[in-house]
Amino acid sequence: MTQIRAILFDVFGTVVDWRASLIADLSAWGTAHGITADWAGLADAWRGAYAPSMDRVRRGAQPWTLLDDLHRQSLQTLLPGFGVTGLDDAQILHLSHVWRRLHPWPDSVAGLTTLKQRFTVCALSNGNVALLIAMAKFGGLPWDFVFGSDLTRHYKPDPQTYLGACGFLGLEPAQVLMAAAHPSDLAAAQRLGLRTAFIARPDEYGPGGTADPAGAWDYAVNGIDALAAAL
């Protein structure tokens, strides 16, 4: 068995709790500005616009666009339907950057810190470099490196993202473990020869949800601290 040298983490949902973070941040902003809206509904609709917005880039209907900017475009499309109108550019930018202000799951920082002692620990995310750096500073994520999608100008699950990360690390795919809460991400990595770790996040879409079913992955665990223990 080839020795694992580096671990690539999906970020949104796997390392950070985007939904609870969005609802808390948007609600607090609304309160401060005297604006009432269905912030949970907006969070879910915004996340719903995520994959279609990257697909537009992937199929060439829109030129390469940073995820920060896709987030802003989706938000501007959604806000009127939630009764939020009349915001200025600075306010739109602040709200769209809520994706830079996401809180880690309770086990993430401790788990990454432990893993960093033995492995090269990186983000492999559809977020852009600036977004990922800001999020790491906000949440205290101790990355060795963040592979933003703007480094390869491809969004996952395009092969260029996984293979690009292995290339920059100077490692064979079999030396690299992809860790994610989403089977589609793991399946794409596995097809390219990376090892896989499924991290169950049943609460990603709200409390009381169910995790995606475990598949034929090398590891299946309930948190990043549990991954550190398993390795």
Helix (H) or strand (E) holding 91: helix 89-96
**68 Cβ neighbours under 8 A, 6+ residues apart:** 96, 97, 99, 100, 127, 128, 130, 131
Contact stretch for a second copy (CB under 8 A) within 27-35, 41-49, 51-59, 140-148: 140-148
Angle at Cα 183 formed by Cα 105 and Cα 50, nearest 5°? Answer: 70
Other CB atoms within a 10 A radius of the CB of residue 213 amount to 9
Window of 19-27, 124-132, 179-187, 211-219 that interacts with a second copy by CB under 8 A: 124-132
137 binds a second copy (CB under 8 A): yes
Nearer to a second copy by C-beta: 142 or 183? 142
Chosen residue from 14, 120, 149, 190 binding a second copy by CB under 8 A:
120
One of 136, 163, 180, 194 touching a second copy (CB under 8 A): 136
Non-local CB neighbours of 87 within 8 Å, separated by 6+ positions: 79, 95
Residue 168 binding a second copy, by CB under 8 A:
yes
Contacts of 83 (CB under 8 A, 6+ apart): 37
* Contacting residue, 111, 139, 148, 173, with a second copy by CB under 8 A: 148
Q: Which is nearer to a second copy, 17 or 150 (CB)?
A: 150
How many other CB atoms are there within 10 angstroms of residue 139's CB atom?
Answer: 18
Residue from 129, 200, 211, 226 that binds a second copy (CB under 8 A)? 129
**Is residue 133 a contact residue for a second copy (CB under 8 A)?**
yes
Is 53 or 120 the residue whose CB approaches a second copy more closely? 120
Least separation, in Å, of the C-beta of 169 and a second copy? 5
Closest CB to a second copy among 61 and 90?
90
Q: Greatest CA span in the chain, whole angstroms?
A: 58
Place of tokens 């996952």: 156
Residue 170 lies near a second copy (rule: CB under 8 A) = yes
The size of the chain, in residues, is 231
Which residues contact a second copy by CB under 8 A? 66, 68, 116, 120, 128-130, 133, 136-137, 144-146, 148, 150-151, 168-170
